[in-house]
A and B are shown apart, each in its own frame.
Chain A
Amino acid sequence: MRGQWIRAVGNRLLHNLTTRLIILMMLAFMVITGINDYGRLVREREQLLAQIQRDERIFAETLALAVRQNLRRGRATEELEELFEGILARPGLLAVVIYDPDGTVVARSVAPGFEPPLSDQLIRDALAQREAASAMTDARTGRILRYVRPFRWSPGRVGAIEVQQTLAEMERQFRRAVRNTISSRLLVLALFVLSIAVLTRWSIARPMRALIAASRALARGEWDQRITIPRQDEIGELAAEFNRMAANLQATHAELLRQAEERLRLEQEVQQAQKLAAVGMLAAEVAHEIGTPLNVISGRAEVLDRIVPRDHPERRNLEIILSQAERIKTIIRALLDYTRPRRPSLRPEPILPILGRVASLLMDRGQRREVRLLLDLPIGLPAVLADAEQLQQLFLNLVLNALDATGRGGTVRITAGPGPVLPSDGRNGILRGKADAPTLAVHVIDTGKGLTAEELNHVFEPFFSTKTSGKGTGLGLPIAEEIVRGHRGEIEMLSVPDTGTEVIVRIPLSDGGVPSPTPATPETTSHGR
């Protein structure tokens, strides 16, 4: 548990950019200063050693001089030892030994507890060659420095004086110097690390954290998220780039939102229009059924009105019947006026934007039903004389019907061209309206279940629907017919059961009969290809 936690922290530190930077810089610093310090310490040690050797030599020479004086005066070696008594007070001195020309110890003075190496090879060599020699040896008490200085014993003979000095003090000094160096370096290093940590935190970690927080906020959908890092370096550039990206995202999101709202508005408009049209159709049906009986009532009352004398006591009843019949007429007329589809305001309109809007409006629905919705139109289609809003409603109805009739994996295609697209075998057809000017034919073709001849005969009747109960209003095609008639165009429906349905809408061209290179047809009921 604990180990895991430590590993986690370790991982986090290792993966932290600041930490990695610091470790790298620390290593570089340590290597550089380490090499430098090592060189300096070694040099200092050598200098110290050389100093000690020089001192020892001078000391030995001075002693040798004193011993010669004594020997010349013929003093005994015992006296020499007395001479040495006071010498050992010199710090670091371990032993002073005098050898006669045979290498025998004549006199010596040794620090208490120290056992000096005596009469060894170093002495013999120095006596034989009559030259000063020095050596460093390891004794039990630490390193010692030995110096042997030959001197004239008697004419033609040479004795020697040896001085042995400890190097422990020097070693101690050296170790202290190393310790001091290391601790001072560590202090500098700590300060260095601290300053780097603070610097990177201020210049990298803090803006990074701000960037990360802003990115998270952006991901949560806080589109107005911006960061202010008023700097000229790469971090500042990164912040500016982030802000630009956020602004772009915000704009894109706003645009998407606007499109969604537009789509919703259009859908609501279409629904509203459908509802109104449904009421209108119903009202028209009712009005049509009521018109005749109402006419019979008011007509009979009028007949009576002419016969019944002006002063007849029951005349009031007659007048009431007449006025109430008139009232019913007014009410129905008002209802019809309210619900009757407004007359189209026709003007030259390009068909492409209308069909494009319909396709984009229904693309989602197609995808949900796994039906491919294709807009397959040649470029340069001529303009039609139309009410764009009503045509949009018309094609919405037709494409919606097609999508509803088509199963998964099917296709609904919107195209334009003079002839029918479906194969002619076994096809049933129905035509409504009549176009007596050159038209542009728009086809809505589905690969759905198709309609029988009997069903086709009824499709343009209000409230007839092949959709499952409650799904269709049964008004889509009657409304379509009404719109097409309002445009002085025609609508044709061709269907092959189990193969598909093709609805062809022919809308008069706006330039009325000027020949056009694009598909436009005045023919009406040709069922061949």
Chain B
Amino acid sequence: MARQPSVLVVDDDPEMRALLLDVLHTEGYEVIEAKDGTEAVLALRARRFDVILMDKNMPGPSGLDLLPGFRRVCPDSKIILMTAFGDVPSYMEAVEKGAAEYLFKPFRMEELKAAITKAFRTDAESRL
């Protein structure tokens, strides 16, 4: 575990990105931010991330649209989707498309940490 665990935050709202950045930095993650699908794709081309934290509703391609492509490009990355006031069907759809976790905004920072920790743990388990 020499390398710092990395997270790519994809959200069109700058305040939301700033919040996530602050919280995850404090938790000791390396955080890169992207404001939409295009920036996310560019970031993914440059390097790999352990976790991708992505908003579902963004201008341009939505988080759900990007999900299958990201799964192909970086199958190792755990993808966590976020959406405002989601419901069970949209959760099911996200999981079917390969999301590791699905957070409904507004979520507590504890929930975020738990989700990321869980993603890392399953990642570690799958590598065993």
Across-interface contacts of B89 in A (CB, < 8 A): 343, 486
Complex Cα distance, B105 from A291, in Å, reads 5
Q: Which of A296, A332, A343 contacts B16 (CB 8 A)?
A: A296
* CB-based contact A287/B85 at 8 Å: yes
Chain A interface residue bracket vs B: 20 to 34
> A336 contacts the other chain (Cβ, under 8 Å)?
yes
Nearest residue in A to B18 (C-beta to C-beta)? Answer: A296
Across-interface contacts of A289 in B (CB, < 8 A): 84
Interface hits, B37-96 → A, CB 8 Å: 55, 57, 83-85, 87, 89
Across-interface contacts of B87 in A (CB, < 8 A): 336, 340
CB distance from A479 to the nearest CB of B (A): 16
Chain-A contact segment, one of B1-9, B28-36, B106-114: B106-114
* CB-based contact A291/B109 at 8 Å: no
Across-interface contacts of A340 in B (CB, < 8 A): 87
CB distance from B92 to the nearest CB of A (A): 11
Q: Which of B13, B84, B105, B109 contacts A303 (CB 8 A)?
A: B109
Given the interface pairs A293-B15, A296-B16, A296-B19, the reply to whether A302 lies near B108 with Cβ below 8 Å is yes
The interface on chain B, measured as residues whose beta carbon lies within 8 A of the other chain's beta carbons, has a size of 23
Complex Cα distance, B94 from A238, in Å, reads 76
* CB-based contact B84/A287 at 8 Å: yes
* CB-based contact B106/A298 at 8 Å: yes
* CB-based contact A298/B108 at 8 Å: yes
* CB-based contact B85/A291 at 8 Å: yes
Given the interface pairs A299-B23, A333-B85, the reply to whether A292 lies near B108 with Cβ below 8 Å is no
Across-interface contacts of A297 in B (CB, < 8 A): 106
* CB-based contact A325/B106 at 8 Å: yes
* CB-based contact A288/B84 at 8 Å: yes
Across-interface contacts of B16 in A (CB, < 8 A): 292, 295-296
Across-interface contacts of A299 in B (CB, < 8 A): 19-20, 23, 106, 109
> A357 contacts the other chain (Cβ, under 8 Å)?
no
Given the interface pairs A292-B13, A292-B105, A294-B106, the reply to whether A303 lies near B22 with Cβ below 8 Å is yes
* CB-based contact B106/A291 at 8 Å: yes
Across-interface contacts of A329 in B (CB, < 8 A): 106
Interface hits, A245-302 → B, CB 8 Å: 284, 287-300, 302
* CB-based contact A296/B15 at 8 Å: yes
Across-interface contacts of B22 in A (CB, < 8 A): 303
Given the interface pairs A295-B105, A296-B13, the reply to whether A290 lies near B23 with Cβ below 8 Å is no
* CB-based contact A300/B19 at 8 Å: yes
Complex Cα distance, B104 from A329, in Å, reads 11
Complex Cα distance, B84 from A293, in Å, reads 10
Given contacts A288-B85, A333-B85, A343-B89, 9 further A-B contacts (CB under 8 A): A291-B104, A292-B13, A292-B105, A295-B84, A297-B106, A299-B19, A303-B109, A325-B106, A336-B85
Q: Give the 4 A-B residue pairs with the shortest CB-CB distance, closest first.
A: A291-B84, A295-B106, A291-B105, A287-B85
Q: List 27 A-B contacts (CB under 8 A).
A: A284-B85, A287-B84, A288-B57, A291-B84, A291-B104, A291-B105, A292-B13, A292-B15, A293-B13, A293-B15, A294-B105, A295-B84, A295-B106, A295-B107, A296-B16, A298-B106, A299-B19, A299-B23, A299-B106, A299-B109, A300-B19, A302-B110, A303-B22, A303-B23, A303-B26, A325-B106, A336-B87
Which residues of A approach B to under 8 Å, CB–CB?
284, 287-300, 302-303, 325, 329, 332-333, 336, 340, 343, 486
